[in-house]
Amino acid sequence: MKPSVKTSRRDFIRKGSLVAGSLALSPTLLSAACKSPDNTKKLGIALVGLGGYAGGQLAPALQKTKNCYLAGIVTGTPSKAEEWSKKYNIPQKNIYNYQTFDDIAKNPDIDIVYVVLPVSMHKEYTIRAAQAGKHVICEKPMALNAADCREMINACKKANKLLSIGYRLHFEPHNMEVMRLGQKQVFGKVTKVDTGNGFVYGGDPNAWRLKKALAGGGGLMDMGIYAIQGARYTLGQEPIAVKATQEKTNHELFKEVDETVYWELKFPGGQKVTGKSSYNNNWGFLRAEAEKGTFELEPAYGYDGIDGKINGKPMQQPNIIQQAAQMDDFATCVAMNKQSRVPGEEGEKDMKVIDAIYRSLDSGKWENIG
């Protein structure tokens, strides 16, 4: 998601209110979405954090979902609470702030909590939501590091609640076709993957995304995670090592976080896999070469307008409301007590790669993953 100013949460943080499965080899990856059982009530979702992504993508998508609906909100800004209540007809009893968040445990209207906060807050609110008896969707990147991811996974398991990560592209037809072509080796073994994602940052220079303590990193965490995902779900394998380099042209804006990062991933199958991320380049592609053909996506990772080619010819897949498909699928999985195709373990795997990339940037050497 692209940057937006989230003053209420930044003020909240500044005031010190914080309380201190295999991806591609799993058959669930390529399976159809969980089928909704007949006569199942819509499940209520509460959005935690009402920034640009929640307001611009998730809330509108929840007006199009079949298995879930926008039942509640959590915000530190009273004016936002009032605005959202009127716009989406949310009753006052389903509106919380960060101090009253744990009272959500008593609310039967809310089945799922969707954490859409700065990355540094993902762990805390995922764990608190699970302890409150709610299933959880956590936006990507899952946490500041893989160790935090493991704590979140364990907490949800202990509470017997499902955890899913906001990987909308696992429900997007073009990307799903790339998964099928690569993992099923439709054109033989994939021999090369090149992918990149980024945009030219023009937002608030004081935004949380540019603060290492809040975001964990820059373009790599925010944009690069899509490219890492793309390589992983194209090949259906987990990378074992990485070597990375970076460049920075705007040292003042990106003084705390990375601007542009390049990496090479080593996979068990020996494929040549390269990737890049940036807050200063408009990238968004995934290209794969196989023994008997090629396939690619460009644009690859956006909210709409995704396009692709197979052996140079149009892929002919539809564009959909990705977030609606993602949330509908999780709601159905909750209703059926089925694991999401993008569980917490999926977010942990990406963070293991990102942790290793940052180690490589420091060491200048190949770093093992995991």
What pLDDT is attached to residue 40? 62
Q: Where are the alpha helices (DSSP H) in 18-133?
A: 27-30, 52-53, 59-61, 78-88, 122-131
Place of tokens 């039942």: 71
Distance in angstroms (rounded) separating the CA atoms of residues 120 and 211: 10
Residue 93's Cβ-count burial label (10 Å; 0-12, 13-18, 19+) is: exposed
Model confidence at 190: pLDDT above 50: yes
Q: Which residues pair with 263 in a beta bridge?
A: 244, 275
Ramachandran area for residue 216 (φ above 0: left; ψ -120 to 50: alpha; else beta): left
**CB contact at 8 A, 316 and 208:** no
Give mean pLDDT, residues 218-231. 98
Under DSSP, the state recorded for 120 is G
Model confidence at 6: pLDDT above 50: no
Domain boundaries along the sequence of the chain: 7-169, 172-318+344-368
Query: In one letter, which amino acid is 304?
Result: D
Question: What fold does the segment set 7-169 form as a domain?
Answer: Rossmann fold (3.40.50)
Distance in angstroms (rounded) separating the CA atoms of residues 135 and 160: 9
- The token pair that represents 251 in the structure block: 């040292």
Q: Is 226 a catalytic residue?
A: yes
**CB contact at 8 A, 159 and 131:** yes
- The token pair that represents 7 in the structure block: 């003053």
What pLDDT is attached to residue 19? 30
Give mean pLDDT, residues 246-273. 98
**CB contact at 8 A, 356 and 368:** yes
Model confidence at 182: pLDDT above 90: yes
Class for domain 172-318+344-368, per CATH? alpha beta
Under DSSP, the state recorded for 92 is G
**CB contact at 8 A, 130 and 155:** yes
**CB contact at 8 A, 294 and 287:** yes
Distance of CA 89 to the CA centre of its chain: 27
Residues 201, 226, 233, 301: which is the catalytic one? 226
Place of tokens 């820059």: 218
Better-scored residue on pLDDT, 96 or 34? 96
Q: Where are the alpha helices (DSSP H) in 258-366?
A: 322-336, 344-363
Residues 140, 161, 349, 352: which is the catalytic one? 140
Ramachandran area for residue 160 (φ above 0: left; ψ -120 to 50: alpha; else beta): left
What pLDDT is attached to residue 370? 82
Distance of CA 1 to the CA centre of its chain: 9
Q: Is 292 a catalytic residue?
A: no
Q: Give the pLDDT confidence of 7-54 residue by residue, as tens digits.
A: 343 343 333 333 333 333 333 333 334 444 444 699 999 999 999 999
Q: How many angstroms separate the Cα of 351 from the Cα of each of 149, 222, 355?
A: 8, 12, 6
- The token pair that represents 245 in the structure block: 């380099």
Q: Give the pLDDT confidence of 296-344 residue by residue, as tens digits.
A: 999 999 999 999 999 999 999 999 999 999 999 999 999 999 999 999 9
**CB contact at 8 A, 244 and 261:** yes
Q: Give the pLDDT confidence of 118-172 residue by residue, as tens digits.
A: 999 999 999 999 999 999 999 999 999 999 999 999 999 999 999 999 999 999 9
* DSSP per position, 200-252: E--S-TTSGGG-HHHHSSSHIIIIIHHHHHHHHHHHTS---EEEEEEE-S-TT
Place of tokens 């999780």: 330
